[in-house]
Chains A and B, each alone.
Chain A
Amino acid sequence: MQFMLLFSRQGKLRLQKWYVAHPDKLKKKITRELITTILARKPKMSSFLEWKDVKVVYKRYASLYFCCAIEQNDNELLTLEIIHRYVELLDKYFGSSIRLLAQKHCILVCELDIIFNFEKAYFILDELLVGGEIQETSKKNVLKAIAAQDLLQEVSYGDVPIEL
């Protein structure tokens, strides 16, 4: 995988993870163009896009678009599974209540979770993927690792855990 972007239906970027080295300017350009292209696509269209020389796989969950640029040899369908796995993990982490994967009326809850806890969204992604490749296929293990690190964060300040 070359990069992953999360953005809202309004085109606001919510998360960006780059596994290729691009100058900041280029990253911004790619992000902008890709968001525009994807938002212009109709729901009837497939989740795959041949965009410039990369294969792009995207899927919308509630108000959020999850978008990955993958390598030529990567399996597009599997990328959809990776995105889904990430959504499941976010869902499990931010609460047992039904969120991203649920009906329309609770969608704001989740996008807000990711906005206000964006660093957690990154931490979870980093336990799922390293260098753009999947490192852990067990949901339980990912969440265990995150929980253990959250705990470590609290104890590392002694009795006064610090809030960001």
Chain B
Amino acid sequence: MASIKQAFNEAVERVSTVRMPAPTRLRDLIRQIRAARTAAEERTVVNKECAYIRSTFREEDSVWRCRNIAKLLYIHMLGYPAHFGQLECLKLIASPRFTDKRIGYLGAMLLLDERQDVHLLITNCLKNDLNSSTQFVIGLALCTLGAIASPEMARDLASEVERLMKSANAYIRKKAALCAFRIIRRVPELMEMFLPATRSLITEKNHGVLITGVTLITEMCENSVDTLNHFKKECGHREIVPNLVRILKNLILAGYSPEHDVSGVSDPFLQVKILRLLRILGRNDIDASEAMNDILAQVATNTETSKNVGNTILYETVLSIMDIKSESGLRVLAVNILGRFLLNNDKNIRYVALNTLLKTVYVDTSAVQRHRSTILECLKDPDVSIRRRAMELSFALVNSNNIRNMMKELLLFLERADPEFKAQCSSNIVMSAERFAPNKRWHLETLFKVLVAAGNYVRDDVVACTIQLISETQSQQSYAVSALWRALEKDTSDKQPLAQVATWLLWNPQNTVVTKQYTLLSLTKLSTRFQKGNEKIRQIIDTFGSNLHIELQQRGIEFSQLFRKYDHLRPALLERMPPMETARPQANGIIGMVNGEPESEEDKSSVLEASTPPSDSSALLDLLGTTDLGITPSASNKNSSANSTTVVNNNDLLDLLGSLDLNAPTSTSTLPQAQTPSQIFSPTNATNFLVDGLLNSSSVQNDTLSMIVLDKAGLKITFRLERPPDIADLLIINMSAQNSGNAILTDFLFQAAVPKVTFQLQMLSPSSTVIPPSGQVSQVLKVTNINKVPLRMRLRISYTGPTGPVLEQTEVNNFPPLTLQ
């Protein structure tokens, strides 16, 4: 047979050479291209062939057109431009020969995209072929429509597809059903016309028709609540839930059927699709949920799990059990299945288990808690994405009962973790310790361990937290000093944050500028504590007066002045700072320092008047030392005390404040000294977000605010801001998008981005992707603001409106100050 075919082929090639030489065969071209040794050689072969193919397009009816297009499609796959072949594809489709049609439709699917004018032409071709008498021609047309239907094509051809859904031929029915799926995905309002034809699809025996029918109904129900209710309301023998339950039951109970068997499981593809549709039908519906409880339990217990295919079904079953109003016993069963998944050898199964547990942990915490040790084991998994999920899940499981144990494991994890995990993991440990620490000693130990384990990867918040905890825990200070001393005896070049904390307490020169600043400050303070050795300290400080780094130099000069001209002020200025009182992540230490002494303003100013501000000034120094050394000095620092002769007594103080960027107040450094710190940190000084927000903190916390971030073309996007009182740094943004126009908006996608270094953004899933006229879609965003800097957010909103796809981009940087605390 093969030899006869070959003889035919050769005859054809010979005959046609009489008219015109036959073009290179597809496989010969592929051979030539594969034989090319260099990219340049390949390009030469391709260009030559493309030029030839182009030249053949002028011929009217060529038997070789399909061969040329097939070659062009191969060239296209290699990445070369081939769009000049689009019209030729349409000619092939219009040909009566099946080979031509097959290649033509293949070309159309590969070369056409939605913005081509040829779309109109192809719509006509499709319309013709959808009315063909050959099932395979109809099949090709349906398949093409299913792959490339644009909204216009969907509208033009919907009625043809609807007709074919009722065809007597199952081969056509199933393809038409998926075409309808694609059509309503592109144009949801066309859904209604397909409803009657869809209903009968799931009463079929043919698995192809069944699965496509279930897929179509799923899409419809996910898209519209009305349709969901429509399908639920069907009564009598065609009621949808019992019907699906029956199909599923037949699948699991029926004996071996070779046609649909996959490793001992009967048609897993269909089972998964039905389970998913059941989930949508049972969601928030007690009656429907009850009707499917039994079958879900049956699937969960009867499925063979030695292969991936069985676990596929179990995974889908678990998702459904979690999502519907299922019995509590069933939910436990589901979590236990996931627990078993965690022990599976297959990394894919472990991955989906962790992912699913992460989704349910907030609903069924206690059920998930039972698998804690297995989850902790996954922290050691060789797969990085599994480790990441395990870490997230572990933190979700921490509570006051298991904190010691969990932290032990997580600290071990932190030690060995990849650099990309260290920052997030250490901050999470600090947060968990903050919430659940059994005692101060343990808390401190944990923080020190984080500093050691995460080294330079820890974020600033960890340093701030530790310093604050030490300062407010007088009883543990001697422990802290000795622990840090021991830690510092080892090499600390890769643990600068630890060194920063330590130098806050001890004297130990380090190499980075920030650490040097901490050290310089600590050293200056030590001068008031030591009886002897002040001369030595003064010399060291003086050497900084000529330091190359401007910040250090300025500090050196300022502190030198304290030893000379203002020596009488020094003991008071450098007095021990009072413990910081506020809890760490909830509010910054600065509040504690400024608001920490709630005595009346008059008292304060009178103390200042005497030019010996006992605690405030040292608090300000500490503020400088602990939080803001990284800020570059503002221009207003020019009148540094070194060369000014008529400075008032607290000029140093104001100069120090200069590095906090307090432009307005420092420029008036000759202010009467009665100006109190709280006046300097005036809440009306809007430019100073840092102090401003903090001073107002007590009144604005837990407030809700809303802001309109976009109002354009009938789409209004509003942010409702919320700060939960119990979780620090967290800002919850409730986004709602309202459609005030009278057209439906589909494919609505809201994306947001924040600067990665200082913020973490978590976006929950949106309530829908379709906004009906005067309807709305909501989505929750959680922003963690670690460094407490002003929030900036970039938004990207895309949807398909009546005029086609729309893309809006905007930036929001006018968040009210409450978001910064």
Contacts and interface: CB of A to CB of B under 8 A. Distances in A.
Interface of A: 13-19, 21-24, 28, 44-50, 53, 72-73, 75-78, 80-82, 85, 115-116, 118-119, 122-123, 126, 130-131, 133-141, 145, 148-149, 152-153, 155-157, 159-164
A123 B73 CA distance: 14
A130 B351 contact: no
Contact of B171 (A21, A72, A145, A160): A145
Given A77-B349, A126-B143, A138-B260, A22 B103 contact: no
Interface stretch (B226-234, B310-318, B632-640, B734-742): B310-318
Nearest to B210: A137
A19 B181 CA distance: 12
Contact of A160 (B8, B149, B185): B8
Nearest to A47: B348
Given A81-B268, A149-B136, A135 B175 contact: yes
Contact of B309 (A48, A72, A81, A163): A81
B278 to A, nearest CB: 14
Contacts of B207: 136-138
16 contacts: A45-B347, A78-B268, A81-B268, A116-B30, A130-B179, A133-B178, A133-B215, A135-B208, A135-B211, A136-B208, A138-B207, A149-B102, A152-B136, A157-B63, A159-B8, A161-B8
Given A13-B79, A75-B312, A78-B312, 8 more contacts: A16-B77, A75-B316, A130-B143, A130-B178, A131-B185, A148-B136, A149-B136, A164-B67
Interface in B95-132: 96-99, 102-103, 106, 109-110, 113-115
Nearest to A16: B77
Contacts of B386: 46
A137 B269 contact: yes
A21 B347 contact: no
A138 B98 contact: no
Interface string B131-147: 00010100100110011
Contact of A119 (B73, B79, B315, B316): B73
Interface stretch (B377-385, B496-504, B698-706): B377-385
Contacts of B520: none
B66 interface: yes
A130 B146 contact: yes
B276 interface: yes
A134 B66 contact: no
A50 B52 CA distance: 43
B91 to A, nearest CB: 16
B347 A44 contact: yes
Interface of B: 5, 8-9, 11-12, 25-27, 30, 34, 63, 66-67, 70, 73-74, 77-79, 83, 96-99, 102-103, 106, 109-110, 113-115, 134, 136, 139, 142-143, 146-150, 171, 174-175, 178-179, 181-182, 185, 207-208, 211-212, 215, 222, 259-260, 262, 267-270, 272-273, 276, 308-309, 311-312, 315-316, 347-352, 382-386, 751, 765
A116 B9 CA distance: 18
A160 B102 CA distance: 17
Q: Which of A138, A139, A155, A161 is most buried by chain B, counting CB atoms within 10 A of its CB?
A: A138
B70 A46 contact: no
Nearest to B66: A164
A162 B142 contact: no
Given A21-B113, A156-B98, A131 B315 contact: no
Nearest to B280: A73
A161 B113 contact: no
B305 to A, nearest CB: 12
Contacts of B114: 21
